[in-house]
Structure 1
């Protein structure tokens, strides 16, 4: 079994516990959208008894175009996330892109996320490790799953023992990703709980010319397959109206569809874990 990672004494990753859900909009578009999503997801996850961590990015630093929407940035973004945390009593995760952002982000976030494109950046990993928070590293689209052992070593030797690894698809030719379900098993063997990123795995990177496309209709199928292989958490971007979202709209799940997407995933997860 993978190592167990515990958040706030009541959210447990690994050790044969039911999956934890990371969910929220891709980019920080407005406080209203964040509130609507946090409220909606919390209502659904409370009903289904699924542990929930709210996800949102205050700075989308790796957009396809220099003109693409990025969000309000570190300071304003963390202030807004802190409001969401207090209003809805939910833990938070967001991604950092620069080592000098880690300390300030760690004062608000419960889980520090390292983007896939930056998963090998030593200084970024060291900065995240020093926050003392859980660090969730997304496996680079360009990396074999066994190569993530070096990422784990960097974090552990920098003082971090609370590590999550996320599978989010691998580059397959141009503008395409595939998910090798064997990766989930390999990542687990590195001794960490494993997360499946259901929505970024169906991206078509750069497929729209100046933006990334996606196929959200495949999210339920891949999520159920990942649950059948065995996972400790699912990462799923959710939005009240993905077709009008300013980032990653084509692969995000519509909030009104979330409950029906989660139910069969939960059933498979509980069955696989003998619950």
Structure 2
């Protein structure tokens, strides 16, 4: 699998013994933090020759409680994402929630992400594809990998030349937990697109009585290693310098200072299965 050409042109970034990485904070909390996180991950991924896409949500639309943090303002957050991309010459990705947001976000980022809860929203997928940007569709917690072929069909029908990713983030397991079925990764690869494992959201414990989503970040490495062993093309990891102080999803983010050691281990796993 080769990473679709976004801003990377160095052939060393498409080596078969590498996976690509989508990583960053859950939400854009401010300019300085976004640049700090991006700079650290760029330094790591350049050294390890891992293709990198910076991730950050410009707005969080799916929150349990009314007073949960949703963002610092759409235009400001999107402008910060654009600045990250320019500063480090890397592609960026953000999620969109309604069809009119697609054209707006496409002015600032390289990849538009369809959230898992919205992966069946035809007009939303079509709007993302019609921008000409790459589209990352997250598999719904209620769907199988096989059924995600219809999402790929929708993207390609709207724009035959569109680049498509599919991302697994676990399946609902009871009312407040998720479980990863690794059969979904090869099932989605059968649709002819790169497949990503979301190693942090798959460890969420949603719908808690407190109204704040929980998580099991101690298992991020376990999920990631298993995904690489199964053959995932890419990994999605939310990370933050201090997850306990993060404004969104801190309960299941990887501390930024643990990322480099984890990626080194994952490269060895990747090399072992070739």
Q: Which TM-score band applies after superposition, normalised by the shorter structure?
A: over 0.9
Q: Taking CA–CA contacts closer than 8 Å with sequence separation of 6 or more, which of the two structures ends up with the larger relative contact order? A: 1
Q: Which ranges of structure 1 fall in alignment gaps of 5 or more residues?
A: none
1:211-256 deviation per Cα after TM superposition (whole angstroms, max 9, x unaligned): 1110100000110001000011100001000011111101101111
Q: In the alignment, which residue of structure 2 is the partner of 1:49?
A: 49
Q: In the alignment, which residue of structure 2 is the partner of 1:85?
A: 85
Q: Which ranges of structure 2 fall in alignment gaps of 5 or more residues?
A: none
Task: Tell me the distance in 2 between the aligned counterparts of 1:152 and 1:92.
Answer: 21
TM-aligned CA deviation for residue 144 of structure 1: 1.4
- Contact 2:136–2:167, Cα closer than 8 Å, also in 1: yes
Q: In the alignment, which residue of structure 1 is the partner of 2:260?
A: 259
Q: In the alignment, which residue of structure 1 is the partner of 2:176?
A: 175
User: RMSD of the alignment, in Å?
Assistant: 1.8
The aligned length equals 272
- 2:153 matches 1:149: no
Task: Tell me the distance in 1 between the aligned counterparts of 2:251 and 2:31.
Answer: 21
Q: In the alignment, which residue of structure 2 is the partner of 1:6?
A: 5
Return 152-161 or 237-246, whichever deviates more: 152-161
Q: In the alignment, which residue of structure 1 is the partner of 2:189?
A: 188
Task: Tell me the distance in 2 between the aligned counterparts of 1:117 and 1:194.
Answer: 18
Residues 232, 61 of structure 1: CA spacing in aligned structure 2 closer, same or farther, 3 A cutoff? same
TM-score of the aligned structures, taking structure 1 as reference length: 0.94
TM-aligned CA deviation for residue 8 of structure 1: 2.7
TM-aligned CA deviation for residue 16 of structure 1: 4.2
Return 75-84 or 240-249, whichever deviates more: 75-84
The 5 A counterparts of 1:1-275 are 5-10=4-9, 16=16, 18-160=18-160, 161-207=162-208, 209-272=210-273, 274=274
TM-score of the aligned structures, taking structure 2 as reference length: 0.94
SS in 1 for 2:50: coil
TM-aligned CA deviation for residue 5 of structure 1: 3.0
Task: Tell me the distance in 2 between the aligned counterparts of 1:110 and 1:256.
Answer: 26
Task: Tell me the distance in 2 between the aligned counterparts of 1:236 and 1:142.
Answer: 21
